[in-house]
Structure 1
Amino acid sequence: MILTGLAVGAVLGIVMQRGRFCVTGMLRDIFLQKTWRSFVALLIVISVHAVGIAALTSAGVIAPTYSNFAPLAVIGGGFIFGLGIILAGGCASGTWFRSAEGLVGSWIALIFYALSASAMQTGALNWLNAGVKSYDTSLTTLPASFGVSVWFFAIPLAIGTALAARHFLVKEAAQPKVARLNGPWWRRPLHIYTAGALVGLIGVIAWPLSAAAGRNSGLGITGPSGNIANFIVTGDGAKVDWGVMLVLGLFIGAFAAAKATGEFRLRVPDATTAVRAVAGGAMMGVGAALAGGCTVGNGMVQTALFSYQGWIALLFIALGVGAGAKLWLKPSTAPVTAGTYSTEESLDQAPTSAEDKVLTPGFAVATGAVALKTAAPKTQKARPLGQGRYALDTLGAVCPFPLIEAKDVIDTLDVGEELVIDFDCTQGTETIPRWAADNGHEVTDFRQTGDAGWQIAIRKN
Structure 2
Amino acid sequence: MLISGLLVGVALGFVMQRGRFCVTGAFRDIWVTRNTRWLTAFLVVVAVQSVGVFALDAAGVIRLHGDAFPWLATIVGGFIFGFAIVLAGGCATGTYYRAGEGLVGSWLALITYALFAAIMKTGPLAGFNTAMRSVTVEQSNFYTVLGVSPWLFVAVLVAAVALAVRHHLNKPRIAMAALPPSKTGLAHLLFEKPWNAFATAVVIGIIAIAAWPLSWATGREDGLGITTPSSKLVGYLVTGDAELVDWGVFLVVGILLGSFIAAKGSGEFRVRVPDAATVIKSLGGGALMGIGAALAGGCTIGNAMVQTAQFSFQGWTALVFMILGTGLAAKLTIMNRRQAPAAARVPAGV
- For the superposition of Structure 1 and Structure 2, which TM-score range results when normalised by the shorter chain? over 0.9
Partner residue in 2 for 1:138 = 138
Please identify runs of 4+ aligned residues in structure 1 that moved more than 3 A.
178-182
SS at 1:216 equivalent = coil
Partner residue in 1 for 2:211 = 206
Partner residue in 2 for 1:150 = 150
Match of 1:176 among 168, 174, 177: 174
SS at 1:306 equivalent = coil
Contact 2:68 2:136 (8 Å CA) reproduced: yes
Which residues of structure 2 form unaligned runs of 5+? 346-350
Deviates more, 1:58-67 or 1:7-16: 58-67
- Note the alpha carbon deviations across 1:108-152, whole angstroms, 9 max, x for none: 000000000001111111011011111100010111111111101
Partner residue in 2 for 1:298 = 303
Match of 1:280 among 279, 285, 288: 285
- Note the alpha carbon deviations across 1:395-432, whole angstroms, 9 max, x for none: xxxxxxxxx79xx89xx9xxxxxxxxxxxxxxxxxxxx
Partner residue in 2 for 1:116 = 116
Structure 1 residue 228: deviation in Å? 0.6
Deviates more, 1:70-79 or 1:177-186: 177-186
TM-score normalised by length of structure 2: 0.93
Q: Which amino acid aligns with 2:41?
A: A
d(CA) in 1 for partners of 2:177, 2:151: 40
Q: Which amino acid aligns with 1:190?
A: W
**More helix, by proportion:** 2
d(CA) in 1 for partners of 2:177, 2:134: 52
Match of 2:230 among 225, 230, 237: 225
d(CA) in 2 for partners of 1:177, 1:331: 31
Contact 2:32 2:335 (8 Å CA) reproduced: no
Q: Which amino acid aligns with 1:149?
A: S
Partner residue in 1 for 2:272 = 267
- Note the alpha carbon deviations across 1:88-119, whole angstroms, 9 max, x for none: 00000000000000000000000000000001
Partner residue in 2 for 1:50 = 50
SS at 1:34 equivalent = coil
SS at 2:37 equivalent = coil
d(CA) in 1 for partners of 2:227, 2:162: 29
Identity of aligned residues (%): 50
Seen in structure 2, the aligned counterparts of structure 1 residues 182 and 31 have a Cα distance that, compared at 3 Å, is farther
Q: Which amino acid aligns with 1:77?
A: G
- Note the alpha carbon deviations across 1:228-285, whole angstroms, 9 max, x for none: 1111111111111000001111110100000011100000111000000111000000
Q: For the aligned residues, what is the CA RMSD? A: 1.6
Q: Which amino acid aligns with 1:266?
A: V
Contact 2:88 2:283 (8 Å CA) reproduced: yes
Q: Which amino acid aligns with 1:313?
A: A
Structure number with bigger Rg: 1
Partner residue in 2 for 1:71 = 71
d(CA) in 2 for partners of 1:181, 1:249: 31
Seen in structure 2, the aligned counterparts of structure 1 residues 188 and 331 have a Cα distance that, compared at 3 Å, is farther
Contact 2:26 2:39 (8 Å CA) reproduced: yes
- Note the alpha carbon deviations across 1:3-59, whole angstroms, 9 max, x for none: 000001101111000011121000001011111111000110000010000111011
**More strand, by proportion:** 1
- Note the alpha carbon deviations across 1:280-311, whole angstroms, 9 max, x for none: 00000000000000000001100000000000
d(CA) in 1 for partners of 2:318, 2:11: 27
Contact 1:40 1:164 (8 Å CA) reproduced: yes
d(CA) in 1 for partners of 2:244, 2:254: 16
TM-score normalised by length of structure 1: 0.71
Structure 1 residue 67: deviation in Å? 2.2
Partner residue in 2 for 1:356 = none
Seen in structure 2, the aligned counterparts of structure 1 residues 166 and 181 have a Cα distance that, compared at 3 Å, is farther
Structure 1 residue 210: deviation in Å? 0.1
- Note the alpha carbon deviations across 1:198-255, whole angstroms, 9 max, x for none: 1111000010000001100000111111111111111111111000001111110100
- Note the alpha carbon deviations across 1:346-391, whole angstroms, 9 max, x for none: xxxxxxxxxxxxxxxxxxxxxxxxxxxxxxxxxxxxxxxxxxxxxx
Seen in structure 2, the aligned counterparts of structure 1 residues 89 and 304 have a Cα distance that, compared at 3 Å, is same
Q: Which amino acid aligns with 2:318?
A: A
Structure 1 residue 330: deviation in Å? 4.7
Contact 1:20 1:189 (8 Å CA) reproduced: no
d(CA) in 2 for partners of 1:127, 1:182: 57
Partner residue in 1 for 2:23 = 23
Partner residue in 2 for 1:337 = none
Partner residue in 1 for 2:321 = 316
Partner residue in 2 for 1:247 = 252
d(CA) in 2 for partners of 1:119, 1:46: 29
Q: Which amino acid aligns with 2:268?
A: E
Of structures 1 and 2, the one with the larger relative CO (CA 8 A, separation 6+) is 2
- Note the alpha carbon deviations across 1:166-220, whole angstroms, 9 max, x for none: 110111xx24323445424331231111111111110000100000011000001
Q: Which amino acid aligns with 2:280?
A: V
Q: Which amino acid aligns with 1:37?
A: R
Partner residue in 1 for 2:348 = none
Deviates more, 1:314-323 or 1:64-73: 64-73
Contact 1:181 1:188 (8 Å CA) reproduced: no
d(CA) in 1 for partners of 2:38, 2:330: 17
